[in-house]
């Protein structure tokens, strides 16, 4: 009888031990990042790096104009991190109570003129963009690249008459690369990313309109630790190197 009882107790102990060891699950999940359209290439690369550094985690991005992103967030969209192409739209996010902490500036960008390859209209200055009959495309005034354009217009006292105003800088670039415009105003980083598809025309007045890029954790995050890790990656040596290679300057 005692032998049978001992065997039964041993069997129970074995089952309990194996059951407890099977409850451990690997860590991982998905981080949602809302980021300005001009960050697409750099942040996609950094998202891949984040996944390598944090096995089991991936980063899902939504890229669009900063104003569009703030609008989506204020209307209830859920995300972990927001990166804006200017401080103005980050301030809007803060005023709407969307941020869980202070934003961190991580890069800056300036405007440049882009034309179809070879610069067929021989554009040499910002003032040339006001030439009658020239089809010029810019960003809408309410988005960061458009606000920067208005700043340059005020500094140069040159008023442009664009054929269209786009909601994000990548749309301006597309209008030029597809031959729908004679020239456009985009960021240095966008021109660099389109090397071979456009001709870049620098103008000194662009220094009057430098856009600073901030990043912040959002209150809707359910992955606060990982959101902070992503921001640390962006602001750390690896992130800064990636951004520099894309043409971004220091904040």
- Domain 111-208 in the same topology as domain 29-108+213-245: yes
Please tell me the predicted confidence (pLDDT) of residue 28.
85
From residue 228, alpha-carbon distances to 29, 106, 174 in Å are 15, 14, 33
Question: So where are the chain's domains?
Answer: 29-108+213-245, 111-208
Q: Which of 99, 67, 101 is nearest to 84 (CA)?
A: 67
The annotated binding site is made up of: 38, 66, 169, 187
76: three-class secondary structure by DSSP: coil
The annotated binding site for molybdate is made up of: 38, 66, 169, 187
| Percent of the chain with pLDDT strictly greater than 90 | 89
Q: Average pLDDT in the 35-61 region?
A: 97
Q: Which fold, 29-108+213-245?
A: D-Maltodextrin-Binding Protein; domain 2 (3.40.190)
Q: Kindly report, residue by residue over 111-158, the tens digit of the pLDDT.
A: 999 999 999 999 999 999 999 999 999 999 999 999 999 999 999 999
**Quick check: 93 pLDDT over 50?**
yes
From residue 10, alpha-carbon distances to 4, 6, 20, 21, 141 in Å are 10, 6, 16, 17, 76
Compute the distance between CA of residue 117 and CA of residue 61 in angstroms, rounded to an integer.
31
Report residue 230 CA to chain centroid gap. Answer: 13
| Percent of the chain with pLDDT strictly greater than 70 | 90
Q: Which fold, 111-208?
A: D-Maltodextrin-Binding Protein; domain 2 (3.40.190)
Q: Average pLDDT in the 153-175 region?
A: 96
Please tell me the predicted confidence (pLDDT) of residue 27.
73
Could you tell me the strand order of the sheet in which 211-217 lies? Answer: 57-64, 29-36, 81-83, 211-217, 104-109
Q: Which residue has the higher pLDDT, 8 or 209?
A: 209
Mean pLDDT of the chain: 91
């Amino acid at each position: 009888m005692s032998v049978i009882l001992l065997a039964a107790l041993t069997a129970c102990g074995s089952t309990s031990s194996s059951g407890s060891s099977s409850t451990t699950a690997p860590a991982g999940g998905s981080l949602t990042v809302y980021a300005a359209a001009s960050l697409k290439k750099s942040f996609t690369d950094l998202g891949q790096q984040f996944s390598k550094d944090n096995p089991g985690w991936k980063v899902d991005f939504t890229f669009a104009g900063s104003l569009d992103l703030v609008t989506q967030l204020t209307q209830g969209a859920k995300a972990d991190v927001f990166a804006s192409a200017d401080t103005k739209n980050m301030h809007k996010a803060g005023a709407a109570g969307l941020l869980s902490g202070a934003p961190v500036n991580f890069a800056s960008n300036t405007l440049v003129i882009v034309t179809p390859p070879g610069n067929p209209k021989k554009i040499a200055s910002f003032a040339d963009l006001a030439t009658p009959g020239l089809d010029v495309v810019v960003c809408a005034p309410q988005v960061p690249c458009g606000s920067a354009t208005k700043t340059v217009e005020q500094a140069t006292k040159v008023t442009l008459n664009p054929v269209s105003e786009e909601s994000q800088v990548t749309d301006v670039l597309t209008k030029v690369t597809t031959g729908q415009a004679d020239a456009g105003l985009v960021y240095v980083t966008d021109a660099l990313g389109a090397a071979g598809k456009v001709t870049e025309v620098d103008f000194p007045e662009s220094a009057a309109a430098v856009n600073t890029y901030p990043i912040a954790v959002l209150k809707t995050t359910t992955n606060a630790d990982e959101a902070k890790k992503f921001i640390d990656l962006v602001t750390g040596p690896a992130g800064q190197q990636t951004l520099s290679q894309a043409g971004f300057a220091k904040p």
